[in-house]
Structure 1
Amino acid sequence: MNWNRRDFLKGTSAAAIAAMAAGIPISKVFGSITGNNPKSTADSVILLWMAGGMPHTDTFDPKKYTPFSKGMQSNSVLSTFKSIPTALDGINFSEGLESIAGIMDKGTLIRSYVAADMGHILHSRHQYHWHTCYQPPQSVSAPHIGSWIAKELGPLNP
């Protein structure tokens, strides 16, 4: 049987609840689910969560190098860093990440995540989505403090 994440969570949560109700140790219940899966070899997972950090085009997914020059149009810039090879054939990182590039044969790079369109202004909405797999709850936005002040004082630039 091929398990997807949803089926796995349904099965394990149902098994855990049943086991707790019956007084069976959880480890015995989960042992049967993982019976025919290969033994994992990883001891840990390192997630580089760079909230507000570097963009992917300047780190792990470099685009064509475009040297910066004064007065250039922003839409003509693809990447201001040169591309360097990694320990994996066909995978390049941006210069400055040589240490990570040297050990990429021991890691995994996820480039397939596509965020739901929740607006481009509030990064916290995307972070909430990434951490929980749920879109943040929608609510009526409260007026900003500047709006309240402008309403009370009236227009200052008539």
Structure 2
Amino acid sequence: MLNDSNFQISTDRSRLDVAMIYRFLSEQSTWAIGISRDVVERSIENSLCFGGFVDGRQVAFARVITDYATFANLVDLFVLPEYRGRGYSKWLMQAIIDHPSLQRLRRFTLATSDAHGLYTRFGFTAPAKPETLMERYFPNIYLS
């Protein structure tokens, strides 16, 4: 657990406010509008999750999908709108980068449409060989 005055970060899944995470992702995110509660719950169960808390209330979240040996993908990082601008996303990213189980990975990826400045601070760059990357992408899958 990391602590900076009132902001605490924990990977203890039992502390997560799944209802809040679901509401944010399904109603306010730009990447998971319409996602079902069941999918959110399964994604949390199968990921390394980071919760950010202020006075015991969860205000931030991120998950890392990983094999803990060679690869990780950072997804679903957010800070609730009323708590933005306080540096919480930077603290969350530092906790993720420093996590003991995420060291010495060959590749650590993420996708972002608007937070390049945040992720660049932590060593993320555009792919060195974008021609080697492929994907199956269904951006509106939760709306169908």
TM-score bracket for the superposition, by shorter chain length: under 0.3
TM-score by length of 2: 0.23
TM-score by length of 1: 0.22
Which has the bigger relative contact order, CA under 8 A and spacing at least 6?
2
